[in-house]
Amino acid sequence: MTIKEASQVTGVSADTLRYYERIGLIPAVPRNESGIRNYDEASIGWINFIKCMRGAGLPIEALIEYVALCKEGDKTEASRKAILIEQRDILQQRIESLQKTLVKLNYKIDNYGHLNQEAIKNIKWNE
């Protein structure tokens, strides 16, 4: 699969695919004799995984480290798992924080236009 096809399949631009590979955010993609990338199932799987993780806001740094550990083989399994757990916990906290903001926003919306502007003023945005 060429980089163009891989881009279409994953929805990640060819430029970004090259960039991700360059910085180690996805493992090296297999090449043909003339050095042209030939994306296989595993490559596509990596791209989709990374796309999903980036979409959830996981830091590029953590993902690069994760990919690097994967390349080193089975002995890094524990460290890899630890990275995922750490990032999972951060994501969980982030979701909880967003949910609190959603509640406040809903409260503000529900009270809009009513005469109880006092209620809105009492929302504590910093908490």
Partner DNA sequence: TCTTGACTTAGAGTGAACTCCAAGATATAA
Partner DNA sequence: TTATATCTTGGAGTTCACTCTAAGTCAAGA
SS3 of 26, please?
A: coil
Q: Which is nearer to DNA, 36 or 119 (CB)?
A: 36
Task: Residue 14: name its binding partner from DNA, a second copy, none (Cβ under 5 to 8 Å by kind).
Answer: DNA
Q: Which of 109, 18, 12, 82 is nearest to 54 (CA)?
A: 12
SS3 of 32, please?
A: coil
- What is the binding site for a second copy (CB under 8 A)? 10-11, 45, 48-49, 51-53, 55-57, 77-78, 80-81, 84-85, 87-88, 91-92, 94-95, 97-99, 101-102, 104-106, 108-109, 112-113, 121, 123-126
Q: Which of 60, 61, 58, 52 is nearest to 12 (CA)?
A: 52
- What is the binding site for DNA (CB under 7 A)? 2-5, 13-16, 18-19, 22, 31-37, 54, 59-61
CA distance 49 to 47: 5
SS3 of 29, please?
A: coil
Task: Residue 117: name its binding partner from a second copy, DNA, none (Cβ under 5 to 8 Å by kind).
Answer: none
